[in-house]
């Protein structure tokens, strides 16, 4: 009996192509472009544009994940791409901006501070990716990299608003850069806001508060943004001290 084989059965199966979701990755690309634009502007001495670009990157970075969840287009590719984009926008860009603006004149001390910040951002992102499923969602472990970038970029923007040159406050810039970097890799808890439910009704005073913040942002963006992220960067330390005091053993008790 002669056996007839179908040629299609003898050929190996073609690997299935795996596509990517366009919409959320477009926002991630926009955040990456804003970070790259900040680097270019810093290299050209346009530090205010560079600082503003970092804040624009924050907006796009906040939108890509939310859009992915709303449209059910989350993917492993998107998560990795977002992390790489964050490294450029919130790791490399702020370090280069503050280095070109103020730290360059400090020689070795200057680039060491910039590298501490940049390396801390990389470590912070790596730790976040590996501990995403095991940490308390209500708190970040260490200062989030976008908040650290906003602290550094907001400081540069604020000083430019006051016509203060980076060379006049090099040591203050050095201290702020190192503080932001080390706080990113610390174990200090920072409130994430992920447990907030915006579908619930809120008191009228809450709406008035958000309107007030919006008005202040439009009138003095550099002052308001830097103040917000400065307060947030210290809020984790206050929360840590409060938790330590709350769980402090009484006299005669052991921890």
Structure confidence at residue 255 as a pLDDT band (50, 70, 90): very low
From 88, 27, 64, 56, select the one nearest 157 (Cα to Cα).
56
* 70 or 248, higher pLDDT: 70
* 105 or 182, higher pLDDT: 182
Query: In terms of C-beta density within 10 A (0-12 exposed, 13-18 middle, 19 or more buried), how is residue 153 classed?
Result: buried
3, pLDDT greater than 70: no
From 173, 86, 170, select the one nearest 128 (Cα to Cα).
86
Which among 58-62, 193-197, 203-207, 212-216 has the top mean pLDDT? 58-62
pLDDT of 76: 85
Superfamily of domain 22-193+203-246: CDP-alcohol phosphotransferase transmembrane (TM) domain (1.20.120.1760)
Label residues 63-83 b or e (16+ Cβ within 10 Å = b).
bbbebbeeeeeeeeebeebbb
Q: Kindly report, residue by residue over 62-76, the tens digit of the pLDDT.
A: 898 888 888 888 888
For the whole model, what pTM was predicted? 0.84
pLDDT of 53: 98
Q: Kindly report, residue by residue over 136-187, the tens digit of the pLDDT.
A: 678 888 999 999 999 999 999 999 999 999 999 999 999 999 999 999 999 9
User: Of 7-21, 27-41, 107-121, 152-166, where does mean pLDDT reach its minimum?
Assistant: 7-21
Domain ranges of the chain: 22-193+203-246
Those residues whose C-beta lies under 8 Å from the C-beta of residue 39, and which sit 6 or more positions away, are: 50, 88, 92, 93, 96, 97
Average pLDDT, the chain: 86
* 204 or 108, higher pLDDT: 108
Residues 192-207, mean pLDDT to the nearest whole number: 67
Runs of H (alpha helix) within the chain: 7-10, 22-43, 47-70, 76-87, 93-101, 108-130, 145-161, 170-184, 204-219, 221-246
The SS3 assignment for 139 reads strand
pLDDT of 37: 98
Supply the DSSP symbol for 12.
Answer: P
């Amino acid at each position: 009996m002669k056996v007839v084989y179908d040629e299609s059965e003898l050929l190996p199966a073609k690997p299935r192509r795996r596509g990517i979701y366009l919409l959320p990755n477009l926002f991630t690309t926009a955040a990456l472009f804003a970070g790259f634009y900040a680097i270019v502007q810093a290299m050209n001495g346009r530090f205010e544009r560079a600082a503003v670009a970092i804040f624009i990157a924050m907006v796009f970075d906040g939108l890509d994940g939310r859009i992915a969840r709303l449209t059910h287009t989350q993917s492993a590719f998107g998560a990795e791409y977002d992390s790489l984009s964050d490294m450029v926008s919130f790791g490399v860009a702020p370090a280069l901006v503050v280095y070109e603006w103020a730290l360059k004149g400090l020689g070795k001390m200057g680039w060491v501070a910039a590298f501490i910040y940049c390396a801390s951002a990389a470590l912070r992102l790596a730790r976040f990716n590996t501990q995403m499923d095991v940490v308390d969602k209500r708190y970040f472990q260490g200062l989030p990299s976008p908040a650290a970038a906003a602290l550094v970029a907001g400081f540069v923007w604020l000083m430019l608003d006051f016509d203060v040159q980076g060379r006049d406050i090099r040591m203050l810039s050095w201290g702020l850069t190192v503080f932001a970097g080390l706080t990113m890799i610390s174990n200090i808890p920072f409130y994430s806001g992920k447990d907030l439910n915006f579908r619930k009704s809120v008191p009228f005073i809450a709406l008035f508060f958000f309107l007030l913040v919006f008005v202040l942002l439009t009138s003095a963006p550099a002052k308001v943004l830097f103040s917000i992220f400065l307060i947030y960067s210290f809020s984790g330390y206050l929360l840590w001290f409060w938790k330590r005091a709350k769980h402090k053993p009484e006299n005669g008790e052991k921890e």
